[in-house]
């Protein structure tokens, strides 16, 4: 099992089927985003959603995000690519991203900060080994 598979299993809480497949797609989206996790967080800040994404990174309550806000941050192309990979419509993809992305970012930032240049791999390592 790869490191990302282990994180996915922890993030999804052992869920199976379609929901786990969608969560895997969200993890891929984060990994492939320019700048990885920190680049994604910056994209939310750049689109006026800094307080929303900061709530996901922090150790407190996660603020919700709408499907339209997801599309504004990620753009039509990324939403459509995610939808195509998942075999769902772009509207369903936006809704699923709005549901899953806050939890994923929250789990990848357990100490309330976005990892530095080590990117997602560092976040994953920290998530899997919180005592290190």
What's the pLDDT tens digit per position in 23-36? 888 888 998 999 99
pLDDT band at residue 91 using 50, 70 and 90 as cut-offs: very high
Q: What is the pTM of this model?
A: 0.77
Angle at 71 between CA 55 and CA 53, to 5 degrees: 10
| Residues of the chain by 3-state class (helix, strand, coil), percent to 5 | 70, 0, 30
Please state, in angstroms and rounded to a whole number, the distance separating the CA atoms of residues 5 and 8.
Answer: 5
Instruction: Give the pLDDT of residue 3.
Output: 44
Alpha-carbon distance of 61 to 48, in angstroms, equals: 19
pLDDT at 37: 92
Domains of the chain from N-terminus onward: 33-127 (1.10.10.690)
Q: What whole-number percentage of the chain has pLDDT above 70?
A: 73
């Amino acid at each position: 099992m790869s490191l990302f598979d282990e994180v996915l299993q922890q993030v999804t809480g052992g869920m199976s089927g379609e929901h786990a497949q969608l969560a895997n797609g969200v993890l891929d989206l984060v990994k492939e985003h320019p700048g990885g996790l920190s680049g994604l967080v910056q994209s939310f800040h750049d689109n006026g959603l800094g307080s929303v994404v900061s709530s996901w990174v922090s150790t407190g309550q996660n603020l919700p995000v709408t499907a339209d806000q997801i599309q504004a941050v990620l753009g039509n192309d990324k939403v459509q690519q995610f939808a195509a990979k998942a075999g769902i419509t772009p509207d369903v993809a936006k809704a699923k991203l709005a549901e899953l992305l806050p939890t994923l970012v929250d789990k990848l930032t357990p100490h309330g900060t976005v990892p530095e240049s080590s990117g997602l791999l560092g976040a994953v390592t920290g998530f899997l080994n919180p005592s290190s």
